[in-house]
Structure formats: structure tokens, C-alpha cells
């Protein structure tokens, strides 16, 4: 019985060793550890070149109407006319609502009559002054009365005009908040007016891009409601101040919106197209990240490997900008990075 147990233990140990050996062989195959002539590691390399790189900044933005206001009642009065159809387009100066203005009309008529009488009295005194010694003080007093009545008439006319609410610009009416015939208080919101023929988009970018961004640069926005359909526009304004907490600057873009597909308040994915410039770029596969640093492996004229730390910049799919650490003409490993170490000799294949 003890001999049987001993054989079973040896059998288990041998099976375990075989299994470990199989796992090691499989890991070597998975890592693609191929060897070239003389036992050197086979790698693929690429020469570092300076090329034009399309550079973009991505951000999350919010849609804002190009012009947007709330139309409110300037006085407390009955609403005798209301021309609000939700979503209707109105032109600048079109009447939106009218408040009861009987008192204002009467006040204007009264002051117009006073103005006429005061002006007539002033003309009479001026005519008398040419034939007899009319005191200058009487002329001055009457002139003051004329000026006062004129000022009161201007105020009354303005108050009468305020009872009629007009569209200050062309746009689209929002939801109606009151009904015709209702008594409204001063400051009551009647509806909203938005100019959406062009939509502004507000977004922020990091301060390191401030020196590169300029008014007129192209932007592209997308929204989940329309999938990947792009809407194109351009930068219209750059804030003069940076946020001291986030160290970012706010940008406004302007997007043509004739079909009214984009609406104020929408969450928009923004891509800001910066000016293209020549940069040193390498394949992303050449990077070997270690903690917060990035490294590449250089291959010299004798096919020896040297590890070099690099500083990277902008990334685009498949490529990365290199700011420092390597020079144009250097040869870097782009495939087989995980298999090499500093000082090894490699066999370049398909470079």
C-alpha cells in the first residue's frame, strides 16, 4: 500500500512538471519570441521622421442660442392681445403681446393738449415782447413750462409704447406661459424667444492650448440624437480670462443651424482642429510605459538596443508626437518591444 502511494506521488509530480513546462512553452509562443540567426531576437523597427500631424482637441460643450431672451410684462395689467404660437418664427419688431393701455392713451392725449396750450402761451409772450416790454422772467417761466410738459409727454408716450411687447430680433417663440385676458403682474414671463439659425457652443480647453487657438479655427460637433453626423462651424470668441481652479479657458463656437437640428442646452462633443505642423511622431506600439514615464528602444548601427525615455505630446489613432528624447533619423523598435533589453543584439525583420 505504501509503495502504491509512493508511485502515485511520483506520477503527480511528473505530471505537474510537464504541465509547468507546457505553460512556459505556450507563454513563449504567445509572446512571439522568435529568434533570428545566431539566437538574436527578431524585431521590427522604424525610422523616426518629421511629418505633418493633424492635431485636435476634444471637449464637452453646451449648446446656447445665438440670442435668447424671456419676454416679460413690463407693467401689471390685463393682457388684451397675445400672439404666441409655440415654435413659431417671428420677425424683428413683430407684435407678441399687448397690455391694456387705455390709461396710457388718455394720459398721452392729456399731455399733448397741455403741450399745445403751453406752446401757444409761449408764442403769445414772444409776440408781445416785440411790441411792449414783456418781462424776460415771464418768457423764461413759460419756456420752463413748455420743456416740462414736453418731458412728461415723452415719458407718457414711452409708457404707452411699453404696453405693446415686440420681438427685439428674429427668432422662434417658446412655450406660452400665460393666457390672453389674464391679469399679469410686472415681470411675469409671457414666453421665450430664441435665435437658433446659428447655435453657439460653449466649451473649455486646457491652458496649454491657449497660444495655438484663434478665432476662425474650424470646429466639429456631434450629439447622441444624431449619432455620428458632424456639424461644422468655427471659433467665434475666446474668453479673456482663465478659470483659476481648472486652468482652462472658455471658447465659444458658432454652428450654422438652418434646419434647427441643434437646440440650446444640448450636450455636444466638440473637436477643435488646431493648425497642422511638422512633428516627430512614432507608432504607439513603440512606447513602453513604466509608471508615469514613457520609454522607447533605440537600435544603433551595430543592432544593439538602448532604452531611452521620451516625452510625448499629442496622440492620434496609431501615432504619438514625441517632444523630446529622440531625434529625427533614430531607429526605434515598433514590434517586439517586450522581448528586448538594453544591450541586447537584435535581428531586424520587415523594417
34-52+278-348, CATH topology level: 2.40.420
Q: Is 72 exposed, middle or buried (0-12, 13-18, 19+ CB in 10 A)?
A: middle
Q: What is the pLDDT of residues 176-185, one digit of tens each?
A: 999 999 999 9
Residue written as cell 509503495?
Answer: 3
- Read off the pLDDT of each residue in 99-125 and give the average, rounded to a whole number: 86
* C-alpha to C-alpha distance for 270 and 261, rounded to whole angstroms: 16
Q: Is the pLDDT of residue 3 over 70?
A: no
Q: What is the pLDDT of residues 192-204, one digit of tens each?
A: 999 989 999 999 9
Q: What percent of the chain has pLDDT over 70?
A: 87
pLDDT of residue 241 exceeding 70: yes
Residue 228: what pLDDT? 84
* Cα 95 to Cα 91: distance, rounded to the nearest angstrom: 9
Question: Cβ contacts of residue 131 below 8 Å, gap of 6+?
Answer: none
- The answer, yes or no, to whether residue 35 has pLDDT greater than 60, is no
pLDDT of residue 263: 92
User: What residues form DSSP beta bridges with 172?
Assistant: 89, 194
Q: What is the pLDDT of residue 126?
A: 75
User: Confidence class of residue 324 from pLDDT cuts 50, 70 and 90?
Assistant: confident
Total residues found in the chain within this entry: 351
C-alpha cell recorded at residue 234: 468655427
253 SS3 class: strand
* Element of type H or E holding 23: helix 2-30
pLDDT at 113: 87
pLDDT at 118: 83
259-278 mean pLDDT: 89
| CA-atom Rg of the chain in angstroms | 40
**What per-residue confidence (pLDDT) applies to 26?**
55
Q: Determine the pLDDT at residue 335.
A: 86
> Is 351 a residue whose pLDDT tops 60?
no
Report the range of poorest mean pLDDT among 97-101, 108-112, 138-142, 263-267: 138-142
**CA angle in degrees (0–180, nearest 5) for 284-288-290:** 135
The three three-digit cell numbers of residue 116, written as one number: 399745445
- Beta strands in 207-244, from DSSP E residues, in sequence order: 218-222, 231-243
72 pLDDT band (50/70/90 cuts)? Answer: very high
242: confidence class by pLDDT, cuts 50, 70, 90: very high
How much is the mean pLDDT over the chain?
84
For domain 58-66+195-277, is the CATH number 3.40.50.300? Answer: no
- Residues above pLDDT 90, as percent of the chain: 36
List where CATH 2.40.420.20 sits in the chain.
34-52+278-348
Report the topology of domain 101-162: Helix Hairpins (1.10.287)
* Cα angle 260, 261, 267; round to 5: 120
What distance in Å separates the CA atoms of residue 144 and residue 161, rounded to the nearest whole number?
Answer: 26
> According to the model, what pLDDT value does residue 24 have?
60
More confident of the two residues 18 and 280: 280
CA pair distance 153, 145, nearest whole angstrom: 12
Q: Where in the chain is the domain with CATH 2.40.30.170?
A: 58-66+195-277
Q: Are 336 and 41 in contact (CB under 8 A)?
A: yes
Q: State the pLDDT confidence band at 129, using cuts at 50, 70 and 90.
A: low
The conformation of residue 215, written as its DSSP 8-state character, comes to T
With a cut of 90, say whether residue 114 has pLDDT above it: no
pLDDT band of 33, cuts 50, 70, 90: very low
Give yes or no for residue 37 having a pLDDT over 80: no
Work out the average pLDDT over 35-43.
Answer: 62
CA 334, 336, 340: angle at the middle one, nearest 5? Answer: 110
- pLDDT for 301 beyond 70: yes
Residue keyed to cell 532604452: 307
CATH 1.10.287 boundaries in the chain: 101-162
Measured between alpha carbons, how far apart are the two ends of the chain, in Å? 64
In the three-class reduction of DSSP (H, G, I as helix; E, B as strand; rest coil), residue 134 is classed as coil
- pLDDT, average across residues 251-273: 93
Amino acid at each position: 500500500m505504501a509503495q502504491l502511494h509512493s508511485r502515485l506521488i511520483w506520477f503527480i509530480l511528473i505530471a505537474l512538471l510537464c504541465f509547468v513546462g507546457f505553460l512556459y512553452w505556450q507563454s513563449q509562443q504567445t509572446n512571439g519570441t522568435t529568434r533570428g540567426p545566431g539566437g538574436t531576437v527578431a524585431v521590427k523597427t522604424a525610422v523616426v521622421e518629421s511629418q505633418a500631424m493633424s492635431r485636435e482637441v476634444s471637449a464637452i460643450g453646451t449648446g446656447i442660442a445665438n440670442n435668447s431672451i424671456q419676454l416679460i410684462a413690463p407693467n401689471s395689467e390685463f393682457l388684451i392681445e397675445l400672439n404666441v404660437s409655440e415654435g413659431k418664427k417671428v420677425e424683428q419688431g413683430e407684435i407678441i403681446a399687448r397690455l391694456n393701455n387705455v390709461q396710457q392713451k388718455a394720459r398721452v392725449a392729456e399731455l399733448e393738449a397741455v403741450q399745445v396750450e403751453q406752446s401757444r402761451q409761449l408764442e403769445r409772450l414772444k409776440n408781445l415782447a416785440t411790441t411792449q416790454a414783456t418781462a424776460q422772467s415771464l418768457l423764461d417761466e413759460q419756456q420752463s413750462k413748455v420743456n416740462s410738459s414736453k418731458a412728461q409727454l415723452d415719458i407718457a408716450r414711452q409708457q404707452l409704447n411699453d404696453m405693446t411687447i415686440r420681438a427685439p430680433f428674429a427668432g422662434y417663440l417658446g412655450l406660452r406661459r400665460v393666457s390672453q385676458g389674464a391679469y399679469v403682474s410686472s415681470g411675469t414671463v409671457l414666453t421665450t424667444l430664441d435665435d437658433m439659425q446659428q447655435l453657439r457652443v460653449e466649451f473649455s480647453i486646457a491652458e496649454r492650448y491657449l497660444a495655438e487657438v484663434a478665432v476662425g479655427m474650424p470646429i466639429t460637433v456631434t450629439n447622441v440624437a444624431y449619432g455620428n453626423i458632424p456639424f461644422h462651424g468655427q471659433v467665434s470668441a475666446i474668453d479673456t480670462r482663465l478659470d483659476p481652479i481648472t486652468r482652462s479657458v472658455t471658447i465659444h463656437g458658432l454652428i450654422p443651424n438652418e434646419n434647427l437640428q441643434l437646440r440650446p442646452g444640448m450636450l455636444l462633443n466638440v473637436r477643435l482642429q488646431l493648425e497642422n505642423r511638422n512633428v516627430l511622431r512614432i507608432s504607439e506600439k513603440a512606447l513602453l510605459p513604466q509608471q508615469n514615464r514613457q520609454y522607447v528602444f533605440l537600435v544603433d548601427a551595430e543592432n544593439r538596443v538602448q532604452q531611452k525615455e521620451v516625452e510625448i505630446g499629442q496622440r492620434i489613432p496609431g501615432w504619438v508626437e514625441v517632444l523630446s528624447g529622440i531625434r529625427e533619423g533614430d531607429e526605434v523598435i515598433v514590434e517586439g518591444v517586450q522581448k528586448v533589453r538594453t544591450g541586447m543584439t537584435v535581428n531586424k525583420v520587415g523594417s
